[in-house]
Amino acid sequence: MNCQQIHLLFGVNRENNIAMNKKDRAAKAGLGPGSLIHVGKKRDEQISIRVMNYTSDSLEERTITDLEECHQYRTPDTITWLDFDGIHDPRMVEKVGAIFGIHILVQEDIMNSTSRPKVEVFEDFTFVTLKMLDFQSTTKTINEEQFSLIIGKGFLLTFQERPGDDFEPIRDRIRMSTGRVRTKDSEYLAYLLLDVIVDNYIKLSQDFYEKIEALEPLVLSTTKESVINSILSLRKELIHFKRSVDPLKEAINTLHNETENENKKYYRDLFDHIIYESENIAMYREMLGNLIDLYHSRITIRTNDVMRVLTIITTIFVPLTFIVGVYGMNFKHMPELYWEHGYFYVWGLMILIVMGMIVFFKRQKWI
């Protein structure tokens, strides 16, 4: 693996997104609390709504085209999972909020794709928002997406920025009635979704570790500038990853503390996983810091090696320069100038001096 491949490892174009998000947040200045304005990458796709309504004995799966149809799923007799692909339409978010009694500030957070991962507990529901991260091996980039959940009695609402997710195995388990999902409540379903997201964090964390391991031999073998650029780029992405993971510790811990039934042990296990990954991130940051120190040490060692060679060459030529300088003077009476073999004597003397100095340097282990 070369430096360019590692540099492209997590090449997410965040600069344009950050500038766009700042502009969107600035547009909200002066507006009242709960103003529904989408903050994030501009999208115009058609919003799709999928519903899975089930009990232990029945299942209804369909796509909703009219939001008014959501009213029929406000029943505690079944478990309903409503999945909204798209958060850029304020009318949709406002309508869903009115049907399910979602607080206006929560609606605002749903439409803000830059929200910090958090959990807010209300009387009738629990709101969770976090980042879904997924590494795309084909494009060598991280797909980052805001993901929000509304966990209520008998229903689970999920909001994604765009179509496509990693939850299909869970949908298959619901369809095939495998595992416990069909006999559990919406809180357990929310745990399954969060578990998939955290599993992706674990995969991404493993990718970080492998790339850091691949950088170490490069640092030891070369001092090219591209190596330090790769390290700094990877550290920048790791910091961004940390911003997604660390707040999630507090959020999942809140879910664990608020859960009073059998689901408590599942959220505890989820909390342990996210704590483990947070510790891994701290370790990776230390590893990258050590690689940076190692790179600078290699630069210093190489510079010292070059300076030592140059110093040795200079030291060897000092007596030779002295000799040729003496016999280069234009005095008339210099006996050695009239020796028949004086030229060869001087060469022999200089060769002996060079050989003697080289032997001395080697005995001193300077070369």
Tell me the domain boundaries of the chain.
Answer: 3-297, 309-363
Other beta carbons within 10 Å of 137: 7
Q: How far apart are CA 288 and CA 134, in angstroms?
A: 22
Other beta carbons within 10 Å of 367: 10
Polymer length of the chain: 367
For the domain made up of 309-363, give the CATH fold: Methane Monooxygenase Hydroxylase; Chain G, domain 1 (1.20.58)
pLDDT tens series, the chain, 367 aa: 555 555 444 444 444 444 445 445 555 545 555 567 877 777 777 888 999 999 988 899 999 888 888 888 887 788 999 999 888 888 888 898 898 989 899 999 888 888 888 999 998 899 999 998 876 666 666 778 899 999 998 899 999 988 888 899 999 999 998 888 998 999 999 999 999 999 999 989 998 898 999 988 888 888 888 888 989 989 988 988 898 888 888 889 888 888 878 889 999 999 999 999 999 999 999 999 999 999 888 888 888 888 888 888 888 889 888 888 887 887 777 787 778 788 888 889 889 999 998 888 888 887 7
CB distance 11 to 140 below 8 Å: yes
Structure-block tokens of residue 342: 């004086």
CB distance 23 to 154 below 8 Å: no
CB distance 266 to 191 below 8 Å: yes
H or E segment and range at residue 93: helix 90-100
Sequence letter at residue 172: D
* Closest CA relative to residue 187, chosen from 121, 264, 132, 116: 264
Q: How far apart are CA 347 and CA 318, in angstroms?
A: 15
CB distance 37 to 24 below 8 Å: yes
* Closest CA relative to residue 248, chosen from 276, 218, 222: 276
**What residues form DSSP beta bridges with 85?**
48, 160
How far lies 216's CA from each of 76, 195, 199, 270, in Å?
56, 32, 26, 32
Which residues have C-beta within 8 Å of that of residue 266, sequence separation ≥ 6?
188, 191, 195
pTM: 0.78
Domain 3-297 has CATH 3.30.420.40: no
